[in-house]
């Protein structure tokens, strides 16, 4: 058992004169890595302030081992003219040796992509958050408190932070919506649930199973209580015998038990119930939504796309990965027509309608109320996929209180603003839905709700996100922007991309002497397509004409096979009923999809040649 460094026992906390926490008890030991989870408003920030001492308890005991230091990653940093270097090391002792500062710059500040000579007022919002994180890390406190540290980070930075925190010698308490991040760094969970703190003895990786067991136990206990209360109420209602003086107390206790049971049952139902929203249907569009053929795009010497080929189909759910500046936003802007390619051709289906979730939330007017942001001027109703709904009822679907409809958007938290923007966009999502970092600042309940909505959406979906668990649950294909114009296309989510990269690393080896330079050159492609460095022939030969005529039949055959394979994979009983068939289908499906993509891109290439001949 590691040493106890902080303890809170039987503490009461009042907010506005009313009990917020009652008999709150928890302990923090040296080196412990704790995930702090709970719904919005459950008290996570209050608990962190109790740990730092910024919030006093109203009753109970708080013990801190003498000499123990706490550090809290700031949520807001004023963009002053102070340099990044001065801000990060402001809390350090004046006699900190120069070599120690240099070491910490190399180990912490540089990996976070911060320029120590820059001024805070010149940094973006994401960079200011990274500066706050760097400040907390370089102080190396005995108890490190982090609140949503991965917001506005790309996956490479998140993985660096994971490795850093896994080796951190102090204790850690972390609030995050990123399930994969919490699963990788924690060995305990503090769960704030209805004013009580429950402690899981294992990390967040096991939290879902543990919390479900806890709720199931609570459900069984409530069921048993209900039986006992039913018996007591039956006795209390028998008549005069129950009302004689000696039984008045028992009757009073029966009614009190009934009232307490009803209150606990309502509380339990609120926790276990899930919001059910109708399926989000897209407007009608063609099966082939967009074709990118030999697309090149550069900014000066910086290559974004190099002979990029891809076919996008209706119902594709595509996740987009890549470090900042790799080309993700440029690709999305080309998709919507806001950006033009340098060369190549983009064919878009007719009648496409776009809905775009902008992570900067420019579609919201901060000075207007929630109602006025959603409804036409003067109306209390919003058009939700062809049906008129009262704005208060619709906001309730997205976890807002009906009274919030008349609040100004500027008074909302970051997570609440994201929920509002999602409600605005998902009211009428169109045939293509583009979400740029929609998970920032969302709590896990809202993330679950958004996941359910997106899985049911029958249009074409693009999601840029650093949340690996979210991507695994939502997308069916992944585009990874590797930089220098390289884009990898993978069937599946983030985990499938990682498996692909590991397999690629194993297979990489120096080319055999007999292989020529041309055959060993990597190809830039988003799916199984013909080599992109081969330009179409000037003339369509008889052989190529014959190939063009045969391709539609081959494509139709492959489409039918892919459809049949996808239907087979959607059968939840396939694995149990026929393991061999499940194995065959799971292996054949990605190959068939690759062959179909290759055939479609070959047809498009030959069509281009035929048009040029004409």
Residue 286 pLDDT grade (very low, low, confident, very high; cuts 50, 70, 90): low
What is the mean pLDDT of the segment spanning 382-386?
85
pLDDT value, residue 273: 56
157-166, 213-222, 437-446, 542-551, range with greatest mean pLDDT: 157-166
Residue 526 in contact with residue 344, Cβ under 8 Å? no
Tell which residue, 161, 163, 167, has the closest CA to residue 148.
Answer: 161
Residue 45 in contact with residue 72, Cβ under 8 Å? no
The rounded distance, in Å, linking the Cα atoms of 563 and 542 is 32
Please count the other Cβ atoms lying within 10 Å of the Cβ belonging to residue 277.
14
Produce one character per residue of 412-447: b if its CB has 16 or more CB atoms within 10 Å, e if not. Answer: beebbbbbbbbbbbbbbbbbbbbbbbbbbbbbbebb
What is the mean pLDDT of the segment spanning 160-180?
93
- Mean residue pLDDT of the chain comes to 82
Q: Which two tokens stand for residue 91?
A: 């809390």
Q: Is the pLDDT of residue 171 over 90?
A: yes
Instruction: Give alpha helix (H) positions in 89-188.
Output: 98-104, 125-139, 155-166, 179-185
The rounded distance, in Å, linking the Cα atoms of 192 and 181 is 19
What region does 430 belong to: left with phi over 0, alpha with psi -120 to 50, or beta?
Answer: left
The rounded distance, in Å, linking the Cα atoms of 22 and 109 is 41
Question: What is the four-CA torsion angle of 335, 304, 133, 472, rounded to 10 degrees?
Answer: 50
pLDDT value, residue 522: 42
pLDDT value, residue 27: 95
Tell which residue, 181, 189, 193, 192, has the closest CA to residue 209.
Answer: 189
Q: Is the pLDDT of residue 282 over 90?
A: no
Residue 526 in contact with residue 488, Cβ under 8 Å? yes
pLDDT in tens, 337-383: 888 999 888 888 888 888 888 878 888 999 999 999 999 778 899 98
What is the mean pLDDT of the segment spanning 175-195?
92
Residues contacting 214, CB < 8 A, separation 6+: 198
Q: Is the pLDDT of residue 4 over 90?
A: yes
The rounded distance, in Å, linking the Cα atoms of 573 and 385 is 34
Residues contacting 584, CB < 8 A, separation 6+: none
Whose structure tokens read 């040796």? Answer: 97
What is the mean pLDDT of the segment spanning 28-53?
90
Whose structure tokens read 């067991």? Answer: 213
Whose structure tokens read 């920030």? Answer: 45
Tell me whether residue 516 is exposed, middle or buried, using C-beta atoms within 10 angstroms of its C-beta: 0 to 12, 13 to 18, 19 or more: exposed
**Sheet hosting strand 486-491, strand order edge to edge:** 354-357, 432-436, 460-464, 317-322, 477-483, 486-491
The rounded distance, in Å, linking the Cα atoms of 271 and 556 is 48
The rounded distance, in Å, linking the Cα atoms of 263 and 257 is 10
What region does 325 belong to: left with phi over 0, alpha with psi -120 to 50, or beta?
Answer: left
pLDDT in tens, 294-347: 889 998 888 889 888 888 888 899 999 888 778 888 898 888 888 899 988 888
The rounded distance, in Å, linking the Cα atoms of 127 and 324 is 12
Q: pLDDT higher for 441 or 289? A: 289
What would the CATH number be for the domain defined by 4-209? 3.40.50.300
The rounded distance, in Å, linking the Cα atoms of 124 and 19 is 39
Tell which residue, 486, 469, 434, has the closest CA to residue 150.
Answer: 469
Report the SS3 class of residue 83: strand
Q: Is the pLDDT of residue 113 over 50?
A: yes
Host H or E run for residue 579 = helix 579-613
**Sheet hosting strand 4-15, strand order edge to edge:** 18-29, 4-15, 59-64
pLDDT value, residue 529: 38
Interhelix angle for 414-427 vs 444-456, to 10°? 20
Radius of gyration of the chain (CA): 29
Do β-strands 171-175 and 33-38 pair in parallel, antiparallel, or remain unpaired? parallel
Q: Is the pLDDT of residue 516 over 70?
A: no
Residue 6 pLDDT grade (very low, low, confident, very high; cuts 50, 70, 90): very high
The rounded distance, in Å, linking the Cα atoms of 580 and 308 is 37
Residue 2 pLDDT grade (very low, low, confident, very high; cuts 50, 70, 90): low
Tell which residue, 311, 312, 307, has the closest CA to residue 343.
Answer: 307
Q: Is the pLDDT of residue 524 over 80?
A: no
CA-angle at 199, arms to 138 and 129, nearest 5°: 30
Query: 166-170, 280-284, 346-350: lowest mean pLDDT where?
Result: 280-284
pLDDT value, residue 98: 77
Backbone angles phi, psi at 181, to 5 degrees: -60, -50
What would the CATH number be for the domain defined by 538-613? 1.10.287.380
pLDDT in tens, 559-593: 888 888 877 877 766 767 787 887 788 778 878 87
The rounded distance, in Å, linking the Cα atoms of 176 and 178 is 5
Q: Which two tokens stand for residue 155?
A: 């996956």
Residue 283 in contact with residue 457, Cβ under 8 Å? no
Start-to-end C-alpha separation, the chain? 80
Query: 17-21, 255-259, 556-560: lowest mean pLDDT where?
Result: 255-259
Residues contacting 248, CB < 8 A, separation 6+: none
pLDDT value, residue 174: 95
Give strand pairing partners of 305.
Answer: 297
The rounded distance, in Å, linking the Cα atoms of 22 and 12 is 4
Counting residues of the chain whose pLDDT is more than 90, the rounded percentage is 24
Q: The domain 288-506 is classified under which CATH number: 3.30.1330.50, 3.40.50.300, 3.40.430.10, 3.40.718.10?
A: 3.40.50.300
What is the mean pLDDT of the segment spanning 5-9?
94
Query: 145-159, 220-234, 265-279: lowest mean pLDDT where?
Result: 265-279
Residues contacting 552, CB < 8 A, separation 6+: 603
Query: 57-61, 154-158, 364-368: lowest mean pLDDT where?
Result: 154-158
pLDDT in tens, 455-513: 888 889 999 988 889 999 999 999 989 888 888 888 888 888 888 888 877 776 555 55
Q: Is the pLDDT of residue 76 over 90?
A: no
Q: Which two tokens stand for residue 449?
A: 């709700």
pLDDT value, residue 200: 92
Please count the other Cβ atoms lying within 10 Å of the Cβ belonging to residue 383.
14
Q: pLDDT higher for 242 or 247? A: 247
């Amino acid at each position: 058992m590691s040493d106890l460094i902080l303890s809170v026992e039987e503490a009461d906390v009042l907010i506005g004169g009313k009990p917020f926490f009652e008999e709150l008890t928890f302990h923090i030991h040296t080196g412990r890595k704790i995930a702090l989870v709970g719904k919005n408003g459950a008290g996570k920030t209050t608990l962190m302030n109790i740990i730092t001492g910024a919030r006093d308890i109203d009753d109970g005991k708080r013990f801190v081992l003498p000499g123990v230091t706490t550090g809290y990653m700031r949520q807001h940093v004023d963009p002053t003219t102070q340099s990044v270097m001065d801000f990060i090391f402001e809390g350090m002792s004046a006699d900190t040796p120069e070599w120690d500062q240099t070491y910490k710059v190399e180990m912490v500040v540089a990996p976070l992509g911060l320029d120590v000579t820059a001024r805070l007022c010149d940094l973006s919002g994401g960079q200011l958050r990274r500066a706050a994180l760097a400040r907390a890390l370089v102080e190396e406190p005995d108890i490190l408190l982090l609140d949503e540290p991965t917001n506005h980070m790309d996956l490479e930075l998140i993985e660096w932070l994971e490795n850093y925190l896994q080796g951190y010698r102090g204790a850690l308490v972390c609030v995050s919506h990123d399930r994969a991040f919490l699963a990788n760094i924690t060995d305990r969970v503090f769960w704030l649930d209805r004013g009580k703190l429950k402690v899981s003895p294992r990390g967040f990786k096991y939290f879902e199973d543990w919390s479900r067991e806890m709720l199931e136990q609570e459900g069984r206990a409530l069921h048993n209580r209900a039986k006992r209360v039913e018996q007591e109420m039956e006795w209390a209602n028998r008549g005069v015998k129950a009302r004689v003086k000696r039984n008045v107390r028992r009757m009073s206790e029966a009614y009190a038990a009934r009232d307490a049971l009803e209150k606990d049952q309502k509380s339990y139902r609120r926790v276990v119930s899930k919001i059910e929203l109708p399926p989000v249907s897209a407007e009608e569009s063609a099966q082939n939504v967009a074709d990118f053929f030999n697309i090149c795009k550069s900014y000066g010497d910086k290559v974004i796309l190099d002979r990029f080929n891809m076919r996008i189909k209706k119902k594709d759910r595509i996740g987009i990965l890549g470090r900042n500046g790799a080309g993700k936003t440029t690709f999305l802007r080309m998709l919507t027509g806001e950006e033009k390619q340098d060369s190549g051709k983009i064919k878009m289906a007719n009648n496409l309608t776009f809905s775009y979730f902008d992570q900067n939330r420019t579609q919201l007017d901060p000075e207007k109320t929630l109602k006025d942001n959603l409804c036409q001027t003067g109306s209390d109703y919003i058009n939700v996929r062809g049906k008129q709904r009262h704005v208060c009822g619709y906001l309730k679907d997205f976890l807002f209180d009906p009274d919030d409809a008349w609040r100004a958007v500027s008074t909302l938290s970051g997570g609440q603003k994201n929920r509002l923007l999602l409600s605005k966009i998902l009211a009428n999502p169109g045939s293509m839905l583009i979400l740029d970092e929609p998970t920032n600042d969302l709590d896990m309940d809202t993330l679950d709700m958004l996941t359910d909505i997106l899985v049911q959406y029958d249009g074409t979906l693009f999601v840029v996100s650093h949340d690996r668990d979210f991507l695994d649950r939502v997308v069916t294909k992944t585009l990874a922007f590797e930089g220098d114009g390289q884009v990898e296309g993978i069937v599946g989510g983030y985990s499938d991309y990682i498996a692909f990269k590991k397999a690629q690393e194993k297979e990489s080896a120096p080319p055999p002497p007999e292989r020529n330079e041309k055959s060993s050159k990597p190809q830039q492609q988003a799916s199984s397509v013909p080599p992109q460095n081969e330009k179409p022939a000037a003339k369509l030969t008889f052989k190529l004409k014959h190939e063009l005529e045969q391709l539609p039949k081959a494509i139709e055959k492959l489409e039918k096979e892919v459809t049949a394979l996808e239907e087979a994979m959607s059968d939840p009983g396939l694995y149990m009923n026929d393991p061999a068939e499940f194995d065959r289908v799971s292996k054949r499906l990605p190959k068939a999809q690759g062959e179909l993509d290759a055939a479609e891109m070959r047809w498009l290439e030959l069509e281009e040649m035929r048009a040029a001949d004409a």
